[in-house]
């Protein structure tokens, strides 16, 4: 990596918007592919921020799997 991104902890004194902007600049400079940006960002989250991500990622991933299963079932029935 050309540019390193400091971990984000989700503390009150941290500026989430600023961290995202730094991350996006690093993404471009490091040529991280768009399809990996969420996984890379998740790997940099710590403590409360990582807990928040894990909670929401599980929900979204589970929902995504259910939608995918539903779509595959509907396509088979057509």
- Tens-digit pLDDT profile for residues 2-60: 999 999 999 999 999 999 999 999 999 999 998 899 889 999 999 999 999 888 887 66
pTM, entire model: 0.72
9 touches 44 (CB < 8 A): no
Helix, strand, or coil (residue 78): coil
44 touches 14 (CB < 8 A): no
Q: What is the model's pLDDT at position 78?
A: 46
5/27 Cα distance (integer angstroms): 9
71/76 Cα distance (integer angstroms): 9
Strand ranges (DSSP E) for 1-78? none
7/30 Cα distance (integer angstroms): 16
């Amino acid at each position: 990596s050309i540019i390193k991104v400091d971990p984000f902890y989700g503390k009150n004194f941290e500026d989430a918007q600023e961290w995202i902007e730094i991350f996006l600049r690093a993404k471009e400079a490091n040529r991280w592919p768009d399809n990996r940006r969420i996984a890379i960002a998740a790997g940099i989250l710590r403590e409360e921020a990582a807990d928040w991500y894990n909670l929401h990622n599980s929900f979204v991933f589970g929902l995504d799997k259910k939608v995918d299963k539903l779509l595959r079932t509907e396509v088979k029935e057509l």
